[in-house]
Each structure stands twice: as structure tokens, then as C-alpha cells.
Structure 1
Amino acid sequence: MKHGTVVAALLLLIIAGMPVRAAEITLSEADNKCLRCHDEEFAQYDGGIHASLRRQGDAEAPACTNCHTTHRERDKPPYNTATGKPCSKCHDEIFDAFAASVHSRVQVSEKDDKDAHVLGCPDCHRAHDVTAAATENQLKDTCLGCHKDVLLVHQKWLPNARLHFEAVSCPACHAPAAQRKVDLRLYDSATQKRIREKEGVPQFENRARAVDVEGKGLNALALQSLLKEFNRDGGEGKTILRGRLEVSTGVESHQLADKSKAIRNCERCHSKGSDPFQSVTISIARPDGRLLRYDAHKEVLNSTVSIDSVGGFYAIGATRIKLLDTLLFFAVIGGITVPIGHMTTKWLVRKYLKRGKGQGGSGQPQNQTPSTPDDRSKPK
């Protein structure tokens, strides 16, 4: 092997092991002027979704001057609670849904009553470090930030409330008019964190399309093959799926109703053929936290092949896997018959032993008396 080839190979190995640096953000001249004084705010912005979109080449993604004007309005907050601007300039449908929701009428205060204001976009999504709403448990944690005693309240009437909190998003029940679906998310079993696409290496969609032979969504076998592909990557743990019941769109997640209108009927989900389980997606997190989804057949939730894939997501009465039902039936029957059989056998053994003791331990009949020499000499 030539010397140059060896050097080239070593360089490739070194480059492959180097971390990928995020691309620089292209800012306007006015935005660059902001950085001279507001470096702390820009550091927050730099870690958010808007900066990530800019790095990906989206010139329409907001920077400083898209939300802030010059210092003419220095003493006024840039967010307008009545119109939702500047957020509503891009997210108009979402703001309209929010404006019609119960949250738009909520007064919040951080310090005292003097600082009370109507709830707005920054209260949940923050102002500068805006991250994707689907990032880890951000959405649920945001809700619990205000509704601190909500678990205790639900435990008074909802069976397995803690499990529901893990597997069901808040809007799935508190936006009663929304369409619901099941999202099966790729997780690392060792770190218990969502698996993310690597920067510049879009594997998920390519792998999903490769196993989706007919192009009609992933069936149970295709889903199993997809998981095997990810497990070949040699991560810390096994690639698993975690199911979550959620609303179909971001607009619907803002259509929150008064708590008196929240869904409390168990049969809406826990019944055969219920609506939330008719739509299924598989998802992975992009590098910036946004979700990348791929459609799957609804049968993946109740197929025998899916026991290993979606075994951790099982809604009683809705996602019924017949094999599991059969195994459960035999387990129940076994749980009943085994103790009964044990008690019956124990009772029969005791009865037999008691009868043996009653007849004497020597094996002779109980009423038989031992013979004497005189008795033996008497003629019969």
C-alpha cells in the first residue's frame, strides 16, 4: 500500500470521528447590531428552533428584527396579547385556535398582582429559546408548570392516573373536538431518551421507505424490520417504541376547552374500534427536536407480530392482541384451577392419612384381639 493511501485513510478516520459543527447563522446587518449588546438573548436564540431553521437554509425563519423593532418601543414588550404578534405573523392558525380556547382568558402572574397579564405564546413557548413543542416531555412539563396538583386531582377519579399521564397527552382529553391518533416513538431502552436523527444523516425516512414495499405505510412485519435496522447501529441500548395518544395537529393542541368539557368517558378510548386507534404513525426526533413521522397501518397495534414491537403500549379494550387475550385467559384459568387442585389434593391426602391412623399403625384390624395359648389349643 502506498504511503499516500495510508495518510488519506487516516485522515478519513480522523474526520469521521470529529463532531459535526452546526452551520453558522446568516443574519442581516440590523440583526448583527443587536448582538453587540444582547449577547445573552442571542445565546438563548441560538439554541432554539428558529436558529436551527436558519441553519437549514430557511431565510424566512425569524431573527431579532422579525420580532423586535428598534428602540422606539423599548419599554414595551414586543408580544401583543390581543393580536398574538409577532408570533401570529407566522403561526396565525395556531393563534386563532389559542384565542378561542380557555387559555386565552387566563390571567397569570409571576410576582404579584401588579404584574398579572393575559396568558400568551411566550408563557408556554418562551421568548428567545423557543424549542420544538414535541421535544422530550416539554409539552407535558409546560402544563404541569402551572397545574402542579393535577396528578392528585386525576387520581381521585381516573384509574392508573400516572400511567395515563405517561401515555396520553393533555390535549387528547382537554381538546374534546380534536382528532386523536397514536404516535409510536423510537426510544433508546438504555438512556430512556428519544432517538434523534444525526445531523446530515437522514436514516429514518430512507429505512422506512425501504421496508415499506408497497408504499402504503408500515405493516407489522415492516415495523419489525425497521426496528432491527436501528438495532444494528449498535447504540447503548435496544431501540424500542413508546406509544403516545395525542391530537393530530398543532392547531388542535391549542383548542383547549374548559375542564368541565374534558373527555371523562373511558369508552371513548377503551372500546373496540375506537377512533383514536384508527390513525398510527411512527416517529423519530430531528436534530432540532421536531418530529419526523411515517404512517403505519392501524393493525400494528393488535397484530401478534407486534408483541415485541409495541408490547409497551396496550389499551384495554382497544388495542386487543388475540394471542395476549388467549394467554391471559389461560393465565386466569390456571390461577383459579391450580389453587383449587392443590387444595383438593391436600384434602384427599389428609383424609387418606386420617383413615390409616384410625385403622392402627401395625396394619392389623382395629377390633382384632391377639390370640392366647388357650385359644390356640381349643378345637375349632
Structure 2
Amino acid sequence: MHRNIRNLTFRLLALAAFFALAMVSAVQAMESEDCLMCHGDADMVGDALAIDEAKFAATLHGEMGCTSCHMGVSDSHPDDGVALDKVSCSDCHFDVEQEYNAGIHSGMAGCNDCHDPHAALAPTEVSGYDMNAMCANCHMISNTIDSHERWLPQAGLHIEAVPCITCHTGSEDVVITWYLVKQKKAYGDFVLVTPEELSRLAGDSDIFSLIDTDGSGKVSLEELKAFNSSREYRDLHLVGMMTPEEVSHDFQILDNRWDCTFCHASGPQARQVSYVAFPQDDGTIARLGVEKGAVLDALNGTPNFYMMGATRNKTMNIIGALIIAGGLVMPIGHGTMRFLTRKNRQGGGH
């Protein structure tokens, strides 16, 4: 009997503990929702404290919840009048802070000067243009072009095609990412296509089907060529940027980036991993892998991206060879005829 009582007591305690944990989890799940009831409305809290719910939900910070960083907030906030302690990013990102402090930016800017903690995304979820927009908050594009033109040919084109962190940090695994833009004419004269615009073009289908027509989840060279030559999408262009997969925060002036071969390496292996980026409603980008060889095919595969030393095109190679051959016909032919008829000309001279 005593054993039955002990078993019953143990079961009741275990059941109570389970419900207690469930209640705690429910409270934790509701905390972010409670916060966003106010902070999701700029009219209530002001622009400085307003949070875009969709963008926040797409981040790892959003999955962790508000109180993971703002641990001092009470149930009666803000009526309790207690100011929240400033959040230190290094509590979680200690290695990033150490890396950043070793670079030339150390002491010049804090994490929040470049990153919105309520919209912080992984490098593969951020476009190269958004990466450069962070830098442009302090480094004006015009000044950046002027300073690079002192040594870098076509500085504007380089800055358009390469995020700053690709050259000014030790970021690794550089790939070519293609972005959908409108009215590409000159440096800065383009607009990234919005998710809404892509949705209108796709109709009832998902936006990936605009290029990935067979729904395989990978863009083939034939699909890429079909998109680039389509009259239906003649106002859209794919523009490539050399974006890193693994980002470093150690900002430096790196010697090897002065070497043109860092990007313009010859041969078919140079920068051959590429993706097409599709903007999402939550501010992220989703990517589809492209069949190897797109970077090489400058005429049909990637007409808006040319990387000397790594880009090739069979058709252009043949045309170039024919032009060279045609140019040699006249001097070689003329010289040959003169050689073969030299005796006749000599006899006619007597």
C-alpha cells in the first residue's frame, strides 16, 4: 500500500512538473508576441523602437525570442519605469567581437552601426547590395570610387560587382550571386526587383518558376539562356556579384586583394559556383543553385557579367578565330602569290 502511495505521489509530482514546464514554455512563447503588440506598431513606440515583425521572425534572434537578449524586462514593462540594460552582442558573439577588434574598424563603430539586431541575417540571406549599403552609411560611394580609381581600373564597375567585405576582410568561399534588376544601364542605374513584382510576373506559380521552369530546384544553362532571351522578361536582367559564403569581421587592407589573379584567375575553375537570388517578403533572399558553366558563358548564360580571365564563350572564340584568319589571308595570300610569280616578274624586267 505504501508502495502504491509512493508511486502515485511520484506520478503526481512528475505530472505537475510537466505542466509547470509546459506553462513556462507557453509564457516564453508569448513573451515575444506581447513585446510586438507594442513594438510592432511605430505609432505606439516611435520609429526608433519599432520592429518589423516579418523581418524579425526571419532571423535567428526572432527564433530565440525577445527575452533571450532583453532578460531584464519585467511583466509590468514599461509601466514599472525600469530602463532596460544595454544588450552586449559579445555575450553570444564573443569570437566575432575579437575578430572585429583586430581590424581597422575597431573603436570606430559598434555592432548596431552596421547591423539591425532585429533584422540580422546569415550572409547567404543578404544581398551583396545590402552588404554594401551598410558600408555606405559611413563611406560615400562617390568617395570610395575616387579613392579606388587611383590604382584600380574601372573602379565603379568593380565596386558594383564586389561587396566591400569580399576584398576588405578575410571572408572566404566567394561565389557568383545573380540578382534580378530592372533597367540596368550604368553604375548605380538599376533597381532591384521586388518580391511583389516577381509575384505579379509569376502569377499563380512561385517566383522561382520564372527561371527554374521545370521546378527542379536548380537552374540549368538552358533555363538561364531561355530567361535571358525571353521577350516576356526583356526588362529584367541578371547582374552578378562576387559574394562570400563565410563572412569575416576582421576589416583590413589585404595585400592579396591587390593581385588581379585573386578574382581574374584563368581557367574554367575560376568562380564557377553561382546562384540566382530571389528576394522574399520578409527581407531575406532565397537562392537556387546554377549549373556549373554559367560564368563561362558570357554571351548566353550571363550577358550582364564579364570577368576577364575567367569568362569564355565558344561562339565568340570561333568568331574571333575567323576574324584573325580573315585578317591573315590578305598578307599571306599576297606574299605567296608574289613568291610563286617571282620568275615571271623577273623575266618581264629584262
Q: TM range, normalised to the smaller chain?
A: 0.5 to 0.7
Q: Distance in 2 between matches of 1:37 and 1:196?
A: 26
Larger radius of gyration: 1
Contact 1:167 1:245 in 2 (8 A): yes
- In structure 2, runs of 5+ residues without a counterpart are 1-29, 332-350
> How many Å apart are 1:183 and its aligned residue?
0.8
Which one of 239, 244, 247 corresponds to residue 242 of structure 1? 239
Contact 1:186 1:283 in 2 (8 A): yes
| 1:293-320 CA distance string (max 9 Å, x none) | 11112212223xx624411100111112
If the length of structure 1 is used for normalisation, what is the TM-score?
A: 0.59
Query: What's the secondary structure of 1:241's corresponding residue?
Result: strand
| 1:120-155 CA distance string (max 9 Å, x none) | 321101355768973573321221333344322221
Q: Distance in 1 between matches of 2:88 and 2:81?
A: 12
Query: Which residue is equivalent to 2:20?
Result: none
Query: Which residue is equivalent to 2:206?
Result: 203
Contact 2:182 2:236 in 1 (8 A): yes
| 1:195-242 CA distance string (max 9 Å, x none) | 2334796623345554366x6x3232122234578x64x7xx622110
Query: Which residue is equivalent to 2:110?
Result: 120
> How many Å apart are 1:107 and its aligned residue?
1.2
The number of equivalent residue pairs is: 281
- In structure 1, runs of 5+ residues without a counterpart are 1-24, 109-118, 341-380
> How many Å apart are 1:274 and its aligned residue?
6.9
Alignment of 1:110-149 (within 5 A): 119-126=109-116, 134=126, 137-148=129-140, 149=143
Q: Kindly indicate whether residue 88 of structure 2 is the aligned counterpart of residue 80 of structure 1.
A: yes
Q: Distance in 1 between matches of 2:303 and 2:42?
A: 54
Alignment of 1:1-380 (within 5 A): 27-29=32-34, 32=37, 39-41=45-47, 44-46=50-52, 49-50=55-56, 53=58, 60-61=62-63, 64-68=66-70, 69-70=72-73, 78-80=86-88, 83=90, 85=91, 88=92, 92=93, 96-97=95-96, 99-101=98-100, 102-103=102-103, 106-108=106-108, 119-126=109-116, 134=126, 137-148=129-140, 149-176=143-170, 178-189=172-183, 192-198=190-196, 203-206=206-209, 209-211=212-214, 217-226=218-227, 232=232, 238-248=235-245, 252-261=246-255, 263-273=257-267, 277-303=271-297, 307-327=299-319
If the length of structure 2 is used for normalisation, what is the TM-score?
A: 0.63
User: In percent, how many aligned pairs have the same letter?
Assistant: 20
Contact 1:247 1:253 in 2 (8 A): yes
| 1:165-222 CA distance string (max 9 Å, x none) | 0011112222335111101112223793222334796623345554366x6x323212
Q: Distance in 2 between matches of 1:135 and 1:202?
A: 23
Query: Which residue is equivalent to 2:347?
Result: none
Superposition RMSD in Å:
4.3
Q: Distance in 2 between matches of 1:206 and 1:184?
A: 16
Query: What's the secondary structure of 2:310's corresponding residue?
Result: coil
Question: Structure 1 pair 50/211, CA: closer, same or farther in 2 (3 Å)?
Answer: same
Query: What's the secondary structure of 1:277's corresponding residue?
Result: coil
Residue type at the aligned position of 2:314 = K
